[in-house]
Structure 1
Amino acid sequence: MALESNEYPDKSINKFESMLKTDDVYFFDAEDFEEIVHHYLNNGKISLGKKAIQIGLEQHPNSLELKLLQVEILAFEDKFEAAELLLDEIENINSQNEEIYIQRANIRSKQDKHQEAVNLLLEALHLTTEAFDIHSLLGMEYLFMDNYLEAKHSFMKCVEIDDSDYSSLYNVVYCFEFLEDFDGAILYLNDYLERNPYCDVAWHQLGKMYYSMDMFPEALTAFDFAVISDDTFIGAYFEKGKVLEKLGRYNEAIENYESTITLEDPTSYAFLRLGKCHEKLGNFDLAKYYYYHTVHEDPLLDKGWLAITDFHYGQKNYDKALYYINKAINIDGENPQYWKKAAKIYSALENLDEADFAYKQTVDLGNYEFATWKNWADVLRKIGDFHSSIQVLLQGLEFYPDNANLLYKLAGTHLKNNDLAEAKLTLSKAMKIDFDKLQAFDEQFPEFSEIDWVKALVSKIGNTAK
């Protein structure tokens, strides 16, 4: 006698595999075949799933469920035409089966026809008494279409049906975040928590929303409740530590980061945050200890290398800082932040040629920050390469047009390079944009402040500015 579906699943699978090995023919109920197919599909054993469907349809040729599973495999293999023909056959037998519309929607989705998939799923919704899966599929289709508002509503329906479905809850919050509706997310999560006061996931998400809005006391309370709900929730301890850091409560932050290490294998992020906290407290030996562990745990974590470099730079131990940033560059020479940091250290060591090279690498790798152009131009000017300094400043102005700081530097460098006409034009433009920054020009280029035409230009534009 065939086994009841789901009663002894392992026995059904063992019996089926025994049949394949011996070439004997055993009889199974259609439900048993469905169970066997689901087992193989869930475990990625597509060929065995196909074999089970083939034998199942030989024994139960009228089984719509097995045919729908065959459609699912055909769609998985991108055999859309064959899948559609089989769906037509099934629809002629039972047009009210919502799975037909779901499978058609799956095919449309794989063809990037997401609106058509949505329309089919809405049809399925009218035919089913179990709407959860369809709302979830609708939510995903809306996400594919970047329609975060409708996606949010679909995932909210899932949570209404099953408030323990945390995957949908996460998706709801994700949609709120993408829509930048943080107030809406907070209201939604608070309402959810009225019904589920011990849901650690919801408290955790609520804390993250408060944190993103710089509402640190509220975030701390939410993470406290997350920990109360589940005292092994590592993510809540970590986020709580971040809030305590923001509040300047570094010793308490350390306790929370240490909790994450106690509960699970330590992560480079936990070591990094511990190092930062100890550095803030002036515990420099402990800060070094944790920074070393950060880069040892994850040599590819750029924040770790930058932290240990910054630590030694802050201690004015430039040789040590250079040692670590060079180790980082040896691991990942394509990271512009490493080269930018190296340039800063070379500048501090008065190794200007190396600083020039490092800034060039920084820009070549795509770092176009204001400070990069400004500092690179300063290095070239100190070297005495005024022409190159001018070129760098002009490149910087392409990214930051009408930036008074760069214009004043450019005017002074033109003067250094004896480009009198360009200097007059540039200085005039800089003063018209921001006259107050003239003081920085005087401090950086004091030798030019007493030139008659400079004084006359200052007087003329200064009176206009007033």
Structure 2
Amino acid sequence: MLNTDEQLNQQPAPVTTPAETSQTSAGEGDSVGAEQDQAGNWGIFNIFKAFREYNQGNRLYKRERYDQALIHYQIAVKLKPDSWAAWLRLGNTLRKLKQYKQALGAYDRAIKLRPRNYWPWTFRGMTLSKLERYEEAIASFDKALTMEPNNFEAWYERGLALEASLQFEAAAASYKRAIEIKPNISALWYHQGNALMNDDRYSEAVASLDRAVKLEPANYEAWFHRGEMLMSQHRYVDAIASYDKALELQPASFKAIFNRGIALQKLHRYNDAIACYDQVIQLQPNDYEAWFYKGMALKSGWPKTALLSLDRALEINPESPAIWIGRGQTLLDLKEYKSAIASFDRATQLNSNFPEAWLGRAVALFQLRRYPEAIIACDNALQVQPNFLEAWNQRGLTLERLGRYEDALKAYDKVIQTTVLTLELADQVGLQRGMALELLKRDEEAVMAYRKLVRQKPDNFQAWVKLGQVLARLGQYVQAVDAFSEAIAIWPDNYQIWLEQGAILEKLDRYQDAIAAYDRLIKIKPDYWEAWVRRGQAFEQIALYQEAFNSYGIALELSEQPQPSPIIAHRERVRRKLVDM
């Protein structure tokens, strides 16, 4: 951070002996002359005594012994009450001691004695900022700048006051002016970056923070806020690199670790994200957000464990609608629909303006075949957010089950025709349009919709998966494999996509490749019994019966299917083949 006091090495000495006149630095001559002219009014003895007290105060101030420095400056101004610079130093000391109102009085005395000097006005503005009297502080800085437009400290402090009063555009302009005068001070670029961030000018903010860390690589705050800016631009890989730099400087920064986890989660790197959240929890055991985000990361592959994490978050903060929604979504994955409805209902009781809660309730009611109630829940979601595409899609699905096909088509048309306002909304529209076309059994058009989407956003995991599924349904297995491979490159730890890839590879008689896919899946989720079954079937196709027998055996141990299980039939068939060999 910029230490304004350290930058101000040109403050005048308030009481100077005739012998030191020749050593006075530039800008101090007026003070010295004025003091010497008045020497006869208060006696040579007081001159030297005041000078001695002032110098002692300076030495103590430099050593940050402000309490003791204060005593000497008070004596100095008592001996020479018309020494503007002594009052200035007294004000600075009082400000360091956080005695802001008394500091203001000292600066006002300095201004009265020397109204055309910009330093008292600058320090006065800083003190007013400490008192959160920002409008007066800005006026004081403006006064200083009329006297010295190149006073970069005043421009900087003015920017801080503007930023504190939420005038971000003006703050950024003030920092810019300071930078024009002193372009090589990291703190100026850092604060400009913050102001630009708060003004939603993210690209410019990143550029400012890039300059800040280049000038001062050890600036933790700049690396941290740079990560935030990159997250806002969906540049998650770059954001992680920025947080890594911040953590090199402050390894125990739970905020940087937490944000790093969110960036990893955005990249579907759930295991790494969970590791970050665990670190945060170790540092901050009662951080409900860490427990919540950990639960949402676990939800992708371990919904039962996710539920435990979400319940812990609710123990800490039971009034958070977002956590109740996440809990409900996890219960949907576990097919515990009645419990899911209870969670979504709790979320709407806390805040009825979360459309995700109404949608979740609609999905659960749909699964319970309570279709009229599901329609009402969809309508509630759409009342909160009229362009909520998932709600329109769910409404269409539900209307189909009620046999209201014309109304269902209108809901799907709404998805397809929704105006694309943002990149994120464009992704949703593209996916929903493809899904609507699938529901209408127009698979060739769905393929075109998904291909268009992945051309626009090549890292859209869901679009690649949907494209692969439709291509497989059309019997275009080679292209389906290519689509699934793209999805795997984006999210390699998603076990379900490996299962789909393996199944299509079997369709192409590429059994060794299919086995490799199942092996990768099992490495991610060893207890997934369906993968062991598919692995056994692939081994059986290439007459590796012992391996097939072993795979079926593991699947049988893991399976929760009621007896007699089809796995037993697979295993018995292979056992007979082994006997016949």
Q: TM-score range by the shorter chain?
A: 0.5 to 0.7
Paired with 1:11 and 1:96, the residues of 2 have a C-alpha distance of 23
Indicate which of 308, 312, 315 corresponds to 1:293. 312
Task: Return the alpha-carbon distance in structure 2 between the equivalents of residues 265 and 310 of structure 1.
Answer: 24
Residue 94 of structure 1 corresponds to which residue in structure 2? 115
Residue of structure 1 equivalent to 2:278:
258
Q: Which one of 273, 278, 300 corresponds to residue 298 of structure 2? A: 278
RMSD of aligned alpha carbons: 5.2
Aligned partner of 1:341 among 345, 360, 364: 360
Q: Which runs of 5+ in 1 are unaligned?
A: 17-25, 44-48, 57-62, 69-89, 403-433, 444-466
Q: 1:323 aligns with which of 342, 353, 367?
A: 342
The answer to whether structure 1 residue 65 and structure 2 residue 108 are counterparts is: yes
2:67 maps to a residue whose letter is P
C-alpha separation between the residues in 1 aligned to 2:228 and 2:168? 26
The aligned residue for residue 126 of structure 1 is 149
Q: Within 2, Cα distance between the matches of 1:100 and 1:139?
A: 16
Cα distance change of structure 1 residues 317 and 27 upon mapping to structure 2, 3 Å threshold: farther
Specify which of 223, 233, 242 is matched with residue 243 of structure 2: 223
Change (3 A) 1:102 1:191: closer
Task: Normalising by structure 1, report the TM-score.
Answer: 0.58
* Correspondences of 1:97-176 after superposition (within 5 Å): 97=118, 99-100=120-121, 110=135, 120=143, 122-126=145-149, 128=151, 131-138=152-159, 141=162, 144=167, 146=169, 150-151=173-174, 153-154=176-177, 156=179, 160=183, 163=186, 165=187, 169-175=190-196
Letter of the structure 2 residue corresponding to residue 277 of structure 1: A
Match of 1:310 in 2: 329
Do the aligned partners of 1:136 and 1:155 also contact (CA within 8 Å) in 2? no
Pair 1:65–1:256, CA change in 2 (3 A) = same
Displacement of 1:191 in angstroms is: 4.2
List per-residue Cα deviations over 1:257-285 (Å, max 9, x = no partner). Answer: 211122234422211222233333x3333
Check the 8 A contact 1:200/1:226 in 2, yes or no.
yes
Deviations 1:346-404 (A, max 9, x none): 222222333233334334445542343454466467557899x69x969969x9479xx
Question: 2:168, 2:198 within 8 Å by CA — same for their partners in 1?
Answer: no
Q: State the shift of 1:310 in Å.
A: 0.9
Instruction: Note if contact 2:202-2:229 (Cα within 8 Å) is conserved in structure 1.
Output: no
User: Match of 2:38?
Assistant: none
Larger radius of gyration: 2
Q: Secondary structure at the match of 2:116?
A: coil
Q: Which moved more, 1:195-204 or 1:342-351?
A: 195-204
Cα 1:197–1:439, aligned 2, differ >3 Å: closer, same or farther?
A: closer
Q: Distance in 1 between matches of 2:239 and 2:228?
A: 7
- Amino acid in the other structure paired with 1:226: A
How many residues matched? 356
Question: Would you say the 8 A contact 2:265–2:297 is kept in 1?
Answer: yes
* Paired residues of 1:135 and 1:157 also in contact (CA < 8 A): no
CA contact 1:118–1:141 (8 Å) conserved in 2: no
Whole-Å separation in 1 of the counterparts to 2:319 and 2:69: 47
Residues 177 and 185 in structure 1, CA contact (< 8 A), matched pair in contact too? no
> Which amino acid in the other structure matches residue 126 of structure 1?
P
Matches within 5 A, 1:206-221: 206-221=226-241
TM-superposed CA distance for 1:314, in Å, is 1.5
Distance 1:201 1:177 in 2: 15
Given that 1:98 and 1:125 are in contact with CA atoms closer than 8 Å, whether structure 2 keeps it comes out as no
* Residue aligning to 1:423: none
Question: Aligned to 1:126, what secondary structure does the other structure show?
Answer: coil
Q: What is the deviation of 1:307?
A: 1.5
Q: Residues of 2 paired with 1:364 and 1:257: CA distance?
A: 35
Q: Distance in 1 between matches of 2:181 and 2:197?
A: 16
Q: What is aligned with 1:75? A: none
CA drift at 1:311: 0.9
Q: Which residue of 1 aligns with 2:259?
A: 239
Identical amino acids, percent of aligned pairs: 16
- Would the aligned equivalents of 2:264 and 2:273 in 1 still touch at CA under 8 Å? yes
Q: Distance in 2 between matches of 1:245 and 1:386?
A: 38
Aligned partners of 1:385, 1:214: CA distance in 2, in Å?
Answer: 40
C-alpha contact 1:329 1:338 (8 A) present in aligned 2 = yes
Offset at 1:8? Answer: 5.6
Q: Which of 352, 356, 371 matches 1:352?
A: 371
Aligned to 2:389: 370
- Deviation, 1:330, is 2.6
Cα displacement (A) at 1:313? 0.6
Equivalent pair of 1:321/1:345 in contact (CA under 8 Å): yes
CA contact 1:155–1:172 (8 Å) conserved in 2: no
Q: 1:211 to 1:138 in 2, by over 3 A?
A: closer
C-alpha offsets along residues 198-243 of structure 1, whole Å, 9 cap, x if unaligned?
A: 3322333343444445544443333222222221121221232233
1:358 aligned counterpart, secondary structure: helix
Q: 1:145 & 1:222 partners in 2: Cα distance? A: 24
Give the drift of 1:332: 2.5
Q: Cα deviation per residue 1:140-161 (whole Å; 9 max; x = unaligned)?
A: 5497273576245146469857
TM-aligned CA distance change 1:239 to 1:154, over 3 Å: farther
User: Could you tell me whether the CA contact under 8 Å between 1:148 and 1:178 is conserved in 2?
Assistant: no
Q: How does 1:376-455 map to 2 (within 5 A)?
A: 376=395, 379=398, 400=418
Q: Distance in 2 between matches of 1:379 and 1:118?
A: 63
TM-score normalised by length of structure 2:
0.48
Range 376-385 or range 311-320, more displaced: 376-385
Q: Which amino acid aligns with 1:144?
A: Q
The residue identity in structure 2 corresponding to 1:359 is C
CA distance in 2, matches of 1:8, 1:383: 79
CA distance 1:342–1:151, shift in 2 (3 Å): farther
Any unmatched runs of 5+ in structure 2? 1-48, 421-432, 443-581
